[in-house]
Amino acid sequence: MMLRYRWILLGLGLLWLAGAAAGDKPERNDVRVLIDISGSMRTNDPQNLRRPALRMLVGLLQPGTRAGVWTFAKWTNPLVPMGEVNKAWKKKALAASQQIRSPGMFTDIERVIRDATKGISGPPTDYNRHLVLLTDGMVDVSKKAGESAASRQRIIDELLPTLKARGIRVHTIALSARADHELMKQLSAETGGWYQQVDNADQLSRVFLKVFEQVGKPEGVPLKGNHFTVDASVKEATLLVFRGQDAKPPVLISPTGKQYTDSDLVAGVAWYRDQGYDLITIGSPERGEWTLQADVDPDNRVMIVTDLKLRTSEVPAHLAVGEDLLLGAHLSNKGKVVDRKAFLRLLDVRADAITEAGSDPLGLNDDGKDGDAKAGDGRYTVRYREDRPFDEVELLFSVDSPTFMREKRYRVRVHEPASLHFSEDGKTAKVEADSAVLADGAVFQVWQKDAQGKQLALSAQQGLYTLARVGQPVYYKVEGKSRLGNLIVREYGPLYPPGVEPPKAPPVPASVDQAKAPAAAETAPETKKPEPAPEEPAEEAEQEGGWLMPALIVGLGNLLLIGGGLGGWWFLRRRKADDEPDLTDEIEAVEAEVASAVEDGPAVGDAADDPAADETLDLGKGEAA
């Protein structure tokens, strides 16, 4: 009877080890790049830096992506036809990039968007859809009066609703001060894409990197002080190293001291050197700490191919001031959530919001509180909001453990949902919603106050509010739904017409965080948020997981007895050169170390340093980009 009971527990332990929460849907992207080759580019990009920027993007695109490249001026040219991103497609795209020049007349943005999106219908199913539009000009289709303005209006009235309905995110890059920034911003904002102005073509490659991170969501490892760590699950590593004009060629040093340069390559290493950057891809990289000998640059990256991934919730490119965003992160192994408690105890899962003001930790948690649905399930959650606008917030998700590290970056623009503009004479005012974050149908209230402080409601005619008391401050309130579906209620004022000096504000007490205090011209806004989901009681969550740990311990104990023990079986299995090991072995080995540490006494951190746990898994050859 006891033997039967032990076998039941063993089975339960094995099922728990093999089980995981619901798997992740694989992310694949459809990326269509539209590059302006009009004659004005001879001035704004005289060195044709569009070429190396495109080649960098091509080198970074991941397997499983579909991509194509169009150039445009008056006419549209399919420079690289749509196809699956593989070695053949990349070779074709790299060669075609040499054709990018600036021979064209006009800038027909409407035509290239229509041509590049032919064949796309319905909402996205198998692929996330992205357009990357690079231009330096206005919509310019003809010398005939009114035709360019009509084309621009068709983009807004016809194309933009179609792009939104088909789930196509438009990422716009404006390469000059004279570009149609308002149109570029509107296309990106209303489709959930990213907008970036480029003051100099020298910045193009770095901007393409930002767009790629928004589109591809690459898996990465931290590069700190020009050092990075490769773990056993990494099949391929790609380094993007930006290089200054007089910088020495970079050198890459492996954990065993091997040196790699672009002039002395070995099998399994691809090194692409271009204007301003190096792109280095290593198949089956050595496990351990690597060193990069090059100038430290905050835009340098290490991107990897691995089965052990850091997954996050969807992060929008645009957020309203005061709007709550529920962020989530978890590890997945071959598409399934890693939820083994012994393994999770070794992890430090973080999220940081990085702005020009500094870095703020967000406090991801897996304790069933503050928006986290269930304690101890391997899914980490935090509620995030910003109480002031930012042109760019970098959200950096990271996982640190004794044996591996991961990171993922997103960029978010934080908008005021509405703004008020006075006429030059200060007699009228206009309130405009920010379409990046506020959906149609928002309601505005605008008012002034009489001498007794009573509200005087202002009415609008053709969108203009006539001031009842010229020279006096104005207040307004906006209420509506955000594009994320949240209720937005914000109140502003007092706002003073041009030429009117507001009264001096009293000194701010030293205890107030001035960096986050509202501007003097605004009252503290009221923002209503949706009710959070009911939290699961912590006691119930603990009870649910309480029987699993004994089952795990008994199951692991039986595994140690069967076949010479788990440690011996795992050790021998890793020696089989002909078999590609399952990453589950790595996780089980860590759990075995934890169990041993509990029995023998040392801390978990000490157990993680055991040399036996640091052996390299032979994961086979990776494919160089």
Token look-up 């649910």 returns: 544
Q: What is the pLDDT of residues 423-458, one digit of tens each?
A: 999 999 999 999 999 999 999 999 999 999 999 999
Average pLDDT rounded to a whole number, residues 117-125: 91
**Per-residue b or e along 114-136, where b marks 16 or more CB atoms closer than 10 Å to that residue's CB:** bbbbeebeeeeeebbbbbbbbbb
Q: What is the pLDDT of residues 70-89, one digit of tens each?
A: 999 999 999 999 999 999 99
- Return the pLDDT at 584: 61
- Return the pLDDT at 231: 95
Q: In this structure, what CATH number is given to the domain that contains residue 259?
A: 2.60.40
- Return the pLDDT at 370: 82
- Return the pLDDT at 462: 86
pLDDT tier for residue 558 given thresholds of 50, 70 and 90: very low
pLDDT score of 52 more than 90: yes
pLDDT score of 525 more than 60: no
- Select the more confidently predicted residue: 376 or 522: 376
Q: Is residue 390 part of a domain?
A: no
For 479, the enclosing helix (H) or strand (E) is strand 474-481
DSSP 23-52: PPPPP-EEEEEEEE-BTTHHHH-TT-THHH
- Select the more confidently predicted residue: 181 or 556: 181
211 and 181, same structural domain?
yes
476 and 424, same structural domain?
yes
pLDDT score of 214 more than 80: yes
Where in the sequence is the domain holding 296, given as residue range(s)?
227-306
Three-state DSSP class for 624? coil
pLDDT tier for residue 506 given thresholds of 50, 70 and 90: low
pLDDT score of 122 more than 60: yes
Q: Which residues pair with 447 in a beta bridge?
A: 457, 475
297 and 187, same structural domain?
no
Percent of the chain with pLDDT over 90: 69
pLDDT tier for residue 508 given thresholds of 50, 70 and 90: low
Mean pLDDT of the chain: 82
Three-state DSSP class for 536? coil
- Select the more confidently predicted residue: 179 or 510: 179
pLDDT score of 486 more than 60: yes
**Per-residue b or e along 372-395, where b marks 16 or more CB atoms closer than 10 Å to that residue's CB:** bbbbbbbbbbbebebeebbeebbb
185 and 299, same structural domain?
no
pLDDT score of 554 more than 80: no
Chain centre to alpha carbon of residue 292? 25
Q: What is the pLDDT of residues 400-418, one digit of tens each?
A: 999 899 999 999 999 999 9
Counted domains in the chain:
3
pLDDT tier for residue 539 given thresholds of 50, 70 and 90: very low
pLDDT tier for residue 544 given thresholds of 50, 70 and 90: very low
Q: Which residues pair with 354 in a beta bridge?
A: 359, 394
Provide CB contacts within 8 A for 114, sequence distance 6+: 159
Three-state DSSP class for 436? coil
Report the sign of the C-alpha dihedral through residues 32, 37, 38, 42, in that order.
positive
DSSP 345-388: TT-EEEEEEEETTEEEE---B-SS-TT-SSTTSS-EEEEE--SS
235 and 117, same structural domain?
no
pLDDT score of 594 more than 70: no
Number of neighbours of residue 263 by Cβ within 10 angstroms? 8
Burial class (CB in 10 A: 0-12, 13-18, 19+), 253: middle
212 and 241, same structural domain?
no
186 and 294, same structural domain?
no
Separation of alpha carbons 403 and 406, rounded Å: 11
Average pLDDT rounded to a whole number, residues 158-172: 97
Q: Is residue 65 part of a domain?
A: yes
186 and 79, same structural domain?
yes
Weakest-pLDDT range from 61-65, 173-177, 333-337, 533-537: 533-537
CB 117 within 8 A of CB 131: yes
Separation of alpha carbons 311 and 299, rounded Å: 22
235 and 156, same structural domain?
no
pLDDT score of 16 more than 60: no
Nearest to 34 by CA among 87, 85, 89, 107: 107
- Return the pLDDT at 555: 45
Structure tokens at 567: 């440690």
Q: Is residue 400 part of a domain?
A: no
- Select the more confidently predicted residue: 344 or 6: 344
270 and 159, same structural domain?
no
Sheet-wide strand order for 405-415: 318-320, 405-415, 390-400, 348-355, 358-361
257 and 231, same structural domain?
yes
- Select the more confidently predicted residue: 208 or 574: 208
- Return the pLDDT at 496: 95
Average pLDDT rounded to a whole number, residues 277-299: 96
Q: Is residue 316 part of a domain?
A: no
pLDDT score of 514 more than 70: no
Task: Tell which of 306, 339, 364 closes a domain.
Answer: 306
pLDDT score of 625 more than 60: no
pLDDT score of 42 more than 80: yes
Three-state DSSP class for 585? helix
